[in-house]
Amino acid sequence: MADLNELKEQIKEIQNEVKKSLEGIDSSKGLYEYKKLMLDGKRGKIGSLMRGMGSVPKELKGDYGKNINALKEWATDLFDEIDNKLKQQERNLRYEAEKIDVTEPAAKTAVGRLNPITMVKYELTDIFTAMGFEVYEGTEIETDYYNFTALNTPDDHPARDMQDTFYFPDGTLLRTHTSPVQIRAMLEYGAPLRIICPGKVYRRDNDTTHSPMFNQMEGLLVDKNVPFSVMKGTMAEMLNAFFGKSLKYRFRASYFPFTEPSMELDIECVECSGHNEHCRVCHGTGWLEVAGMGMVHPNVIRAGKIDPDEYNGFAFGIGLDRMSMLKYGISDLRLLFDGNVSYFLSGFGGVERC
Ligand code: DAH
C-alpha cells in the first residue's frame, strides 16, 4: 500500500460498506457485534488498517496515520450515534410493553374475616369494659361443684335436668354454662366486683337450633345496695350500643336457681318488629329471647365467700350465637360452626342489618 490515493479509495469503500451495513442493523446488540468486528485490531477492516503501516514509506507514514485515524473517528462517531438511536428505540418499546394502567381495578383477593361469633364477642366485650366490667376467663372443664352446687343447684335439684351435661369418667364435666365463673371470680377478687366472661359451653343437644357447643357471655356485678334498675339500665345500654339503635325490650319472669328474682330479656324482633305473623325469626311472636338474668341469689354470694347481708348484685348470661345470628342475619345456627369460608366471605348470605 504505497499510494495515499489508494488508501483514500480504500477508506471510501470501507465507509460505503459501513453505511450500507448499518442500514441492515436494527438492534443495539447487532450494532455492538458489527462494531467489534470492524474495529478488531487483527481482523477488523478498520482496526487492522494500521497493520499495513510497515510497508508505507517513512515520509508518507504521517498522512497515512492521519487518514486511518480520521476513519476510525468517523466510524466511532457514527456507531455511537446509531447506538444512541437504537437504544432509545429499544427503551421506548420496553416502556410501551411495561406500561401499567393505574386506573385498572385490582384483581380481587380473598381476605379472611372473623367468625361473627368472635366479632360479637369483641363488640360486647368493648361495650361492657367501657362500663367498667373486666374480662374473667374461667375453665371449660369444670367440677360439679362450680357448675351446679355453688350456683344454688344441689344434687337433687330439678334444675339439673334443664342442662344435659357431658361428664368425664372422673366426675368432672364440660361446663354447661359460663355461670361457674361467677363463683371463681368472687372467690378470687371478692367484692365489689364487675366481670364478664365470654366463652364456650357444652350440652348434650344437637339439632337445627342447638349445637353441643355454643357460646355465652356471663356477667356479674356485686356491690352494696345494687338496685334492680341498674341491671335494667345496663342491659338497655348494652342493647343500644350493640344494635346501634333503640329496640323495644322486656323482662319476662323466669326461673334460674342462681338468681332471685329471675328473668329473661327479650328484644323486639329485629326482622319484623312484630309486624309479621309468619316471620321466620320470631315465628310471629314479635319477641326474641337474648339473655337470662336476675338478682344474684344470696346462696351464690355466700358460695363466693362474700356476705350477702352486706353485698348484693345481678348476673346475666347472654347467648352469643343468638346475638350473632340476629345482628348479621344468619338463618341457621350450624352455619356458624361448619367453617364454610365462602359463606362468610359473601357476607353470611344475609345483610348486615344493624
Ligand atoms: N346460665 C344460664 C343458662 O345457661 C343463663 C343465665 C341466667 C345466666 C341467669 C345468669 C343468670 O347469670 O343470672 O341458661
Which residue has the least CA distance to atom 11 on ligand 1?
A: 293
Q: Which residues line ligand 1 (CB under 6 A)?
A: 177, 179, 218, 256, 258-259, 292-294, 315-317
From 133, 153, 176, 177, give the residue whose CB has the most ligand 1 atoms within 8 Å, as the site to mutate. Answer: 177
Q: How far apart are alpha carbons 163 and 141 in whole angstroms?
A: 15
**CA distances (Å), origin 150, targets 146, 183, 199, 335:** 5, 7, 19, 35
Instruction: Output the 3-class SS for the chain.
Output: CCCHHHHHHHHHHHHHHHHHHHHCCCCHHHHHHHHHHHHCCCCCCCCCHHHHHHHCCHHHHHHHHHHHHHHHHHHHHHHHHHHHHHHHHHHHHHHHHHCCCCCCCCCCCCCCCCCHHHHHHHHHHHHHHHCCCEECCCCCEECHHHHCHHHCCCCCCHHHHHCCCCECCCCCEECCCCCHHHHHHHHHHCCCEEEEEEEEEECCCCECCECCEEEEEEEEEEECCCCHHHHHHHHHHHHHHHHCCCCCEEEEEECCCCEEEEEEEEEECCCCCCCCCCCCCCCCCCEEEEEEEEEECHHHHHHCCCCCCCCEEEEEEEEHHHHHHHHHCCCCHHHHCCCCHHHHHCCCCCCCCC
pLDDT of residue 348: 63
Strand-pairing partners, residue 155, are none
Q: What is the 243 CA–ligand 1 centroid distance (Å)?
A: 21
pLDDT of residue 349: 54
Q: How far apart are alpha carbons 90 and 81 in whole angstroms?
A: 14
* Closest atom of ligand 1 relative to the 201 alpha carbon: 4
pTM of the model: 0.69
pLDDT of residue 305: 98
What string of pLDDT tens digits covers the 354 residues of the chain? 457 888 889 999 999 999 999 999 999 999 999 999 998 888 888 888 888 888 888 888 888 889 999 989 999 999 999 999 999 999 999 999 999 888 988 888 777 778 889 999 999 999 999 999 999 999 999 999 999 999 999 888 876 776 689 999 998 999 999 999 999 999 999 999 999 999 999 998 877 677 899 999 999 999 999 999 999 999 999 999 999 888 899 999 999 999 999 999 999 888 888 888 988 878 889 888 999 999 999 999 999 999 999 999 999 999 999 899 888 888 777 788 877 777 666 666 544 443
Crossing angle between the packed helical segments 228-243 and 320-328, to the nearest 10 degrees: 40
Crossing angle between the packed helical segments 28-39 and 58-98, to the nearest 10 degrees: 170
Which residue has the least CA distance to atom 3 on ligand 1?
A: 177
pLDDT of residue 158: 74
Which residue has the least CA distance to atom 4 on ligand 1?
A: 177
pLDDT of residue 352: 44
